[in-house]
Chains A and B, each alone.
Chain A
Amino acid sequence: MNRILNASIRLSVSTLVLAASPLLAQKNQPAKIKAAAIQVEMIQSDEIKLPAEFQVALYENLIRQLEKNGFTHVYRDGDRNATNVADLVVLHSTVRGFKAGSERARQVTTVTGATSITVHCQFTRPDGTSLLERDVNGKVRFFGGNLKATYDFAKKAAHVAQENFSSPGRE
């Protein structure tokens, strides 16, 4: 009888520990930075020669993905409406690596011709105070045109923003 009681106590304790672990993990996560709105600057590629269509596709996809990820106010580069917004976060992106790849090679060989792009994302306040810096990459390995790498990057960058910033409409 005692053995059964012991076993049931152990089982319940271990269940409690397992159930509580995600809650503890959440407590350990760093607090999200308050961001009422985000402004996306045009992608810079001074060191790496990036085709204009990639630059524009990166920028447009990034804005679209940030809007999808719950940022209620996403301002474009140079938007005058963003000047007086409180808790504004500015996203500066600089291309650090680019491999054009080949859609034909991808489809014919499957293993070669991947397109990849690495972008350094820096989130700052309008005064230039840095809040967060990350290198985010975008890839297309099997299907799709080369520009699909820009979509992959945008999704990952928006995810980084979602993880680290709290927008009023998203909480």
Chain B
Amino acid sequence: MLRFIGQRLWQMIPILFGVSLGTFVFNQALPGDPARLLAGPDATLEDVQAMRARLGLDQPWPVRYVIFVRGALAGDFGRSYRTREPVGPIISHYVQPTLVLSLASTVLAVVLGMGVGVLQAVRRNSLGDYVSTVGSVLGVSTPSFFLGLLLIYLFAVDLHWFPTGGTTAGLRSLVLPSVTLGVGAAAAIARFTRSSLLEVLGEDFVRTARAKGVREPWVLARHSLRNALIPVLTLVGLQFGFVLSGAIIVETVFTYPGLGWLLIQSISFRDYPVLTAEILLFALEFLLINLVVDLLYAALDPRVSYA
């Protein structure tokens, strides 16, 4: 087990190198000149060239990549083109809000999604199943910026319950964005929990247990849920990743200063140093989540082993 974890962590190093190189190529493929964008529409060609020199863009990208790698290995990711600040502090400033938002919405999604999913599977074909299925489908099919705007109008403008955005109102600031972000994931998890559990409930060992006279709640808890959780876990892992990229839109709608918001800013300003560091961070985060998911997978399904 430990060997497996060590191996996977070891494998991350070439992946991260691959991602950083990919990001540099992506930056290169992205049309647009950071110097021109920063110098502004007022700028003459001379100003733009001065800006290019100031940003170090007068060097070819392979040279810049080598400089980047050398710096990154020493923990220095350069300075933002846009604000001239060092990248490290910028990223760490934006990480926390996004982490809080992602966790809040994932917890919401898992609790709500699994709860509804299990109820649906147990009370299969009841009116409740029917209504909540339609409800979860609506949840999964509403564009998040549409939902976000509706929530803002209803709960912030009309009812004044929550602020329209930002993070200045503490916990209350977190409610609308995490609901917006979590609803889609919750619906997906509910659907998946339901179908996965139904499948397991149809399996032989469950029938055997029932035939042996094991009581229904016990069948559910001991025999079915554990097996049904396996594909659901994969989905939760995927959904957490989805939540991270969904944060791009939700953070924009709610002006929530997190990584998603920063990403849009750094793309529109072609702020390569920030963009590169951020993509590397996203990549690392995702690799770690997947590792955890795989480990849980092995822990829950004895047929899968990484020994």
Answer yes or no: do A and B interact: no
Partner-A contacts on B (CB < 8 A): none
